[in-house]
Structure 1
């Protein structure tokens, strides 16, 4: 092991001093040797120096690393890896060449079983620390059947702000791209990736990055919204969707279609969707004007090259806000929706409607929800935050009646259409905020034995939680995408007379820190 010199009180520490673990709070610029013992909520590695917590992006529990402290707060700091002295047994080579620069996946360098253990621990820690909960069963996490290729929807930015998208991992000493912008400058001839415009021209076929880049279709660089990586192949979507992405990129370049920059230009985003179990594809082009004449030939060529394309639509967003949702929609080719199958039901998915992005794993999650409801066939069920009605429609086959409440009117329209498509007549969908609609239902005499809730990341609004407590269902099934707000709300429900029986973590998004969980509560006698 390296012997590090620790400056005494009489020796001023210079920037870049190597600091051993027997020290007080380190300073910005210090080089630390850290043993990573945990992963934080967002996927950063956690190391400690005499009790001082240091977060290290790209580090894996079990790693021993040398890292430079770039941010020193009073209670914690952040460091970037200079070298991995001893890799963790759970460290793997990321299969994606964009890993570390792309802002999407954060955990590709962590073996999948270790990802699952981290996420399960994250749920437990939040429930115990935030919710003050202890007497419950934490069930083993449900792994995803496919850790790659699981997303049926991907949204790409169209721009000329290209990033260094094609650097191989070998360029970085085989260590992968945990945080390439801050890797040792010596690795890159003294410049580092913080200044990509000065990378060796040989890296880019002799052209360098100073040359004008062609139109790119890609994802934002991590922590750099102004830079977009030209993604040729995303491992989170299917190969069929990657072929469609490639065809789209080639066609817009060949046709020299303008890109929105500095309040001028046509193309802004493209969203690709694939119907689960149907394979139907949708292309949603977001542009600044309804220029159907310019885009119709593009749509025709895409459908010719990728026959599975069943829908190509144009959404118009003329505002400066960089959002991939339009104020008006025009059909360019085919239908205004694609079809998907989930849990034995058929769904029509339009361009801007919500549908589970990991449908295969969603079927497993919904099976957990259905089991947690313990339906006999006579119950009335409330589905809060119902979205496009997937849970409502699946449960409707097992109960007397379902009321679904959803704030987005477009989603409610989709839910009604999906109920009609599947011949389901015992579902009623209501548009509005749960905190307003739920008390109104109660005033109308509606009572429910079972409530299913799948709120957004912020969790329940306090007034909605109060209305739920007043309703007092016998069984409550809570689906959450945020362990912190889940823990907060479960703590309040337990304090209000419910008993938390079990929590089931479900990995919906492998290679990312995100985790879903299903909790079952029962009103205490």
Structure 2
């Protein structure tokens, strides 16, 4: 394999260090700006090279010792937390300039996480025999993880309980989804069985796990051709609303930072009594429900049927009567909506908004818009389209929802 000695001068979206060799860009996983590194080349193209660090010859002052396994799920754990924040802000600024032509965007300082470790309220882990963990980066091999310092403590307690009871059932499951309530301190889980796993084995494993783990309140199970008939739900609070969540419904993974994001959106949209709010890509309604008070109507559009069912279930529990969930892809539902909206929230998946969604904003005519993005490059692309239909960019606010990783969440506020 080809090896190189390289000086790193920048950081790329996705977290790789960036250097240059004979006019070619070199992306190096695990390297930081200011370092000299010895790398192994993993890919060579006409215009770029990719590689991984073999040895850090000259470390950056921001490099620290990692504390957990090198499987990629905490890819920036070797970066001091203040430097993580600085680099994320830099990535957002560079992507907005490069892809949206915004040289001086209204970029606010990133909001740091109050807990750089022990913040995640959910995890999807792989299981291979008695090995439980994440896949090594670029591999299907499971990195055995005794505990995960990114998770809320109750999830590590549940993980330890599963390890204790798993050996007799080690051929039964290929994965497990864990979800914790940050508000109430308990967990639920979903076992993912193999095609040949019997429902009885899944039920026995779930029962043994719950008996061994007091804070595990419920275990559901699924396998190809089988879904446990009795659903399992968890209560968690956000913005004064109690949500009832299925194990796999989307909910922000960092509850304290989700509260800050919700406060920011509420403040910037400045919703007034009698107004109409559109929440596209709404999930369970984590923005729509807390912001609904006093509004004439809220329309929450979501494609995932489990998330819609969870959101609808929350309405009577919280006494909310002015929110309507519409199930379907946003690009198909928005053209069918009637009337106009005073404000809108867009929280699309990583791939961003479908072009038809942005086109429909012109017709639906919200004067205030909050766009939430977890990918600065896609954010820059979609911002360009929104500016072309008459919106003005007022704020780009990065929020660190994912410490110890290069993932970046931004709330963008636009107005007409």
- TM-score under structure 2 length normalisation: 0.95
Asked if 1:520 corresponds to 2:416, the answer is: no
Task: State the partner residue of 1:124.
Answer: 93
Task: State the partner residue of 1:49.
Answer: 21
Could you give the per-residue CA deviations for residues 422-460 of structure 1, whole angstroms, max 9, x where no partner exists? 111111111112222222112xxx211111111111111
Following superposition of structure 1 onto structure 2, how do residues 303-382 of structure 1 map, counting pairs within 5 Å?
303-318=210-225, 328-331=227-230, 336-382=232-278
Following superposition of structure 1 onto structure 2, how do residues 44-123 of structure 1 map, counting pairs within 5 Å?
44-96=16-68, 98-99=69-70, 102-123=71-92
Alpha carbons of structure 1 residues 512 and 379: separation in structure 2 relative to 1, 3 Å: same
What is the CA-CA distance between 1:50 and the residue it aligns to?
A: 4.5
Contact 1:133 1:491 in 2 (8 A): no
Asked if 1:272 corresponds to 2:178, the answer is: yes
Task: State the partner residue of 1:152.
Answer: 121
Following superposition of structure 1 onto structure 2, how do residues 87-486 of structure 1 map, counting pairs within 5 Å?
87-96=59-68, 98-99=69-70, 102-134=71-103, 136-160=105-129, 215-225=130-140, 227-253=141-167, 256-259=168-171, 266-287=172-193, 288=195, 291-318=198-225, 328-331=227-230, 336-442=232-338, 446-486=339-379
Q: Secondary structure at the match of 1:447?
A: coil
What is the CA-CA distance between 1:292 and the residue it aligns to?
A: 4.0
Task: State the partner residue of 2:8.
Answer: 36
Contact 2:173 2:197 in 1 (8 A): no
Q: Secondary structure at the match of 1:154?
A: strand
Q: Secondary structure at the match of 2:100?
A: coil
What is the CA-CA distance between 1:290 and the residue it aligns to?
A: 6.8
Counterpart-to-counterpart distance in 1, 2:313 and 2:179: 19
Task: State the partner residue of 1:511.
Answer: 404
Counterpart-to-counterpart distance in 2, 1:155 and 1:72: 32
Counterpart-to-counterpart distance in 1, 2:209 and 2:3: 53
What is the CA-CA distance between 1:482 and the residue it aligns to?
A: 1.4
Counterpart-to-counterpart distance in 2, 1:383 and 1:71: 41
How many residue pairs match? The answer is: 415
Alpha carbons of structure 1 residues 329 and 300: separation in structure 2 relative to 1, 3 Å: closer
Counterpart-to-counterpart distance in 2, 1:82 and 1:229: 20
Counterpart-to-counterpart distance in 1, 2:304 and 2:3: 50
Q: Secondary structure at the match of 1:37?
A: strand
Q: Secondary structure at the match of 1:459?
A: coil
Counterpart-to-counterpart distance in 1, 2:18 and 2:197: 49
What is the CA-CA distance between 1:479 and the residue it aligns to?
A: 0.9
What is the CA-CA distance between 1:307 and the residue it aligns to?
A: 1.2
Could you give the per-residue CA deviations for residues 53-81 of structure 1, whole angstroms, max 9, x where no partner exists? 22221111121223344433222212333
Contact 2:2 2:41 in 1 (8 A): yes
Counterpart-to-counterpart distance in 2, 1:30 and 1:270: 38
Q: Secondary structure at the match of 1:376?
A: coil
Contact 1:141 1:506 in 2 (8 A): yes
Alpha carbons of structure 1 residues 316 and 143: separation in structure 2 relative to 1, 3 Å: same
Task: State the partner residue of 1:183.
Answer: none
Counterpart-to-counterpart distance in 1, 2:302 and 2:12: 33
Counterpart-to-counterpart distance in 1, 2:47 and 2:212: 56
Could you give the per-residue CA deviations for residues 114-137 of structure 1, whole angstroms, max 9, x where no partner exists? 111111111111212111224541
Q: Secondary structure at the match of 1:234?
A: coil
Larger Cα Rg: Structure 1 or Structure 2? 1
Contact 2:93 2:105 in 1 (8 A): no
Alpha carbons of structure 1 residues 49 and 236: separation in structure 2 relative to 1, 3 Å: same
Contact 1:40 1:46 in 2 (8 A): yes
Gaps of 5+ in 2: none
Q: Secondary structure at the match of 1:130?
A: helix
Contact 1:457 1:481 in 2 (8 A): yes
Give the superposed CA RMSD: 1.8
Contact 1:135 1:500 in 2 (8 A): no
- TM-score under structure 1 length normalisation: 0.76
Counterpart-to-counterpart distance in 2, 1:368 and 1:412: 24
Counterpart-to-counterpart distance in 2, 1:136 and 1:82: 37
Counterpart-to-counterpart distance in 1, 2:344 and 2:54: 51
Gaps of 5+ in 1: 1-27, 161-214, 260-265, 319-326
Task: State the partner residue of 1:501.
Answer: 394
Q: Which moves more between the two structures, 351-360 or 108-117? A: 351-360
Alpha carbons of structure 1 residues 53 and 400: separation in structure 2 relative to 1, 3 Å: same
